[in-house]
Structure 1
Amino acid sequence: MAAWRADKDGLTVAIRVTPRSSRDAVLPPQEDWLPVKLRAPPVDGEANAALIRFLAKSLKLSRSEVELISGETARLKRVRLKGDPEQLAQALRQLIG
């Protein structure tokens, strides 16, 4: 799947965030990114913090295993998920549905 790339230490995921949504949710992949809706507003890093919390909780990771590596002020972001890449990819597929 083009929305994420695996290496020996985890996954790098391309995410497009839609803040101020009615619910927190991950939608099916689009082109080269994974759409994520968040209730949090894009103010003072609230949406970034909400994204990290949401992914950590949904994928059963600690917050320290989810790292925003680019796109801090943009809708398109790259997030690093630390752990077994096969297990993380499977967990993402299950989260997508």
Structure 2
Amino acid sequence: MAKLPVRLTPGSSSDRIEGWGVDADGRRLLKVRVRARPVEGAANAALVDLLARELSLPKSDVTLTRGGQSRLKMIVIANLDEAALAARIENLRLGD
């Protein structure tokens, strides 16, 4: 199981993973944008869908565990360790 901190920006012009950034405390997080608005969990669902698709995982392996109503979220990825998750993210064409 791998943990993935994410900063989500809803209401974007496209769904995309932008790349790595840092939060106010200097911790590394993945910056993600989705078209969905933060209404009735639509942006969170879009985030899970996007991560599952881009990381070639079943949606059931991607779970939002913290930050349901915040831009800063914690995603848990089942069946991958931290190194395997990092490798998959590094193989993505980020920001395109």
The bucket for the TM-score relative to the shorter chain is: 0.7 to 0.9
Give, in whole Å, the separation in 1 of the partners of 2:56 and 2:73. Answer: 20
Calculate the TM-score normalised by the size of structure 2. Answer: 0.85
Structure 1, unaligned runs of 5 or more: 1-9
Q: In the TM superposition, what is the alpha-carbon distance from 1:82 to its structure 2 partner?
A: 1.2
Q: Find the counterpart in structure 2 of residue 24 from structure 1.
A: 15
Deviations 1:36-70 (A, max 9, x none): 00011000000010011111111111111000010
- Comparing 69-78 and 25-34, the one that deviates more: 25-34
The structure 1 residue matched to 2:60, chosen from 61, 64, 79, is 64
1:50-61 matches, within 5 Å, as 50-61=46-57
Q: Give aligned-pair identity as a percent.
A: 36
**RMSD of aligned alpha carbons:** 1.2
Q: In the TM superposition, what is the alpha-carbon distance from 1:96 to its structure 2 partner?
A: 5.2
SS of residue paired to 1:88: helix
Structure 2, unaligned runs of 5 or more: 23-27
Residue 85 (structure 2) pairs with residue 94 (structure 1)? no
Deviant stretches of 4+, over 4 Å: none
Q: In the TM superposition, what is the alpha-carbon distance from 1:84 to its structure 2 partner?
A: 2.8
Q: Paired residues, what number? A: 88
